[in-house]
């Protein structure tokens, strides 16, 4: 009887292993995983176009914020789950460059020279400009004045009425910190954000503040120009403001993980993303010029934007400043 029980136990164990095998199977040649920090509306555009272009490929687009993508790439290293990184801030891409494929065959000549990465391990995707956005309806409902300066945002009447991406997790949030550090000096900038944090609801992603404005959660947001324009063009009563310091900005790009570069389907998808769909993104959502021969026009997008001081926007400087960032 004991021997019979042992046989039964082994049969059960074998059955469990067989059931688990499909979940543990190796990723197929036509299975492509893309990690992106992009907004929902852009992810929907990318995925729809990719499925149309490559109907025989199984393409998964997984959203994570910028810092999480970088952390996962560094943690997983050569065995990274993802094949392609989409819409990732330049600083994080440089941080992960050890695990990115060299794009020696990619033609960078279509892009403006000053935005092409020196290491040729990723491709430009967009210039992300920042601004102050207000929801006029919420301001009026709550009897709040329209701010005209960063100093105005410290007014106690705005307590809980402002949203900002957390620089520790968002490239969009960091560009505001970087710019004001350059404009005012480090001590004054950090003292400012310490005061501002009393009024702010921090979001983990760059799209969070505009989403909060659309939902009426807050009245004021520090966010992306392009996202605000998209919502305005869809009928949301938002208004874009620029303060005296001008607009902060950061560059985002796309990359292939080194372990996936030998797979033809991955490179076909990447090259389409980095050329045709990059131009489509530039034309539809982020119309700051990145191509030499193409200046997009998007309804409602501000013209003649005066960009602020983004000097010293390096990875080492970013890491140093974020070590001091304690507000959340």
Q: If you write DSSP's letter for every residue of 97-153 in order, what string do you get?
A: GGGBPP-TT---TTB-GGGS-TT-SSEEEEEEEEEEEEEHHHHHHTT-PPP-STGGG
Give the model confidence (pLDDT) of 203-239 as tens digits: 988 889 999 999 999 999 999 998 999 899 999 999 9
Other beta carbons within 10 Å of 51:
13
263 backbone φψ class: left, alpha, beta (φ>0; ψ -120 to 50): beta
Dist CA 130 CA 224 (whole Å): 5
Other beta carbons within 10 Å of 170:
26
Q: Residue 317 has what pLDDT?
A: 92
Q: Residue 65 has what pLDDT?
A: 86
Other beta carbons within 10 Å of 245:
17
CATH superfamily name and code, 129-248+304-324: Periplasmic binding protein-like II (3.40.190.10)
Q: Where are the strands (E) in the chain, listed by range?
A: 31-36, 58-63, 84-89, 123-135, 162-165, 200-203, 220-224, 238-241, 249-256
List of the chain residues with pLDDT < 50: 1-5, 7-9, 11-25
What is the DSSP secondary structure assignment for residue 25, as one 8-state letter? Answer: P
CATH superfamily name and code, 29-127+250-284: Periplasmic binding protein-like II (3.40.190.10)
Closest-CA residue to 239 (of 215, 259, 220): 220
Where does CATH 3.40.190.10 sit in the chain?
A: 29-127+250-284, 129-248+304-324
Q: Residue 27 has what pLDDT?
A: 65
């Amino acid at each position: 009887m004991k021997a019979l029980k042992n046989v039964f136990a082994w049969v059960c164990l074998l059955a469990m292993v067989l059931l688990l095998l499909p979940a543990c199977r190796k990723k197929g040649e036509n299975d492509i995983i893309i990690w992106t920090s992009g907004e929902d509306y852009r992810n929907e555009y990318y995925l729809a176009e990719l499925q149309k272009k490559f109907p025989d490929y199984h393409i998964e687009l997984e959203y994570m914020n910028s810092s999480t993508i970088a952390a996962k790439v560094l943690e997983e290293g050569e065995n990274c789950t993802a094949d392609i990184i989409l819409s990732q801030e330049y600083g994080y891409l440089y941080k992960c460059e050890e695990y990115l494929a060299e794009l020696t065959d990619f033609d960078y000549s279509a892009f403006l020279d000053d935005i092409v990465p020196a290491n040729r391990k990723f491709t430009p995707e967009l210039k992300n400009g920042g601004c102050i956005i207000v929801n006029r309806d919420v301001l009026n409902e709550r009897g709040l004045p329209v701010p005209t300066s960063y100093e105005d945002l410290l007014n106690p009447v705005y307590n809980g009425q402002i949203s900002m991406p957390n620089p520790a997790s968002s490239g969009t949030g960091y560009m505001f910190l970087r710019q004001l550090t350059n404009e005012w000096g480090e001590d004054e900038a950090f003292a400012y954000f310490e005061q501002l944090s009393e009024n702010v609801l921090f979001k983990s992603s760059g799209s969070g503040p505009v989403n909060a404005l659309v939902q009426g959660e807050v009245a004021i947001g520090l966010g992306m120009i392009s996202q605000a324009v998209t919502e305005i063009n869809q009928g949301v009563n938002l208004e874009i403001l620029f303060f005296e310091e001008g607009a902060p900005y950061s560059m985002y790009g796309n990359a292939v993980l080194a372990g996936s570069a030998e797979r033809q389907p991955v490179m076909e998808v990447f090259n389409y993303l980095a050329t045709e769909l990059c131009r489509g993104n530039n034309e539809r959502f982020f119309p700051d010029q990145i191509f030499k021969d193409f200046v997009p026009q998007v309804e409602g997008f501000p013209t003649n934007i005066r960009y602020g001081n983004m000097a010293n926007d390096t990875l080492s400087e970013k890491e140093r400043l974020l070590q001091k960032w304690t507000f959340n």
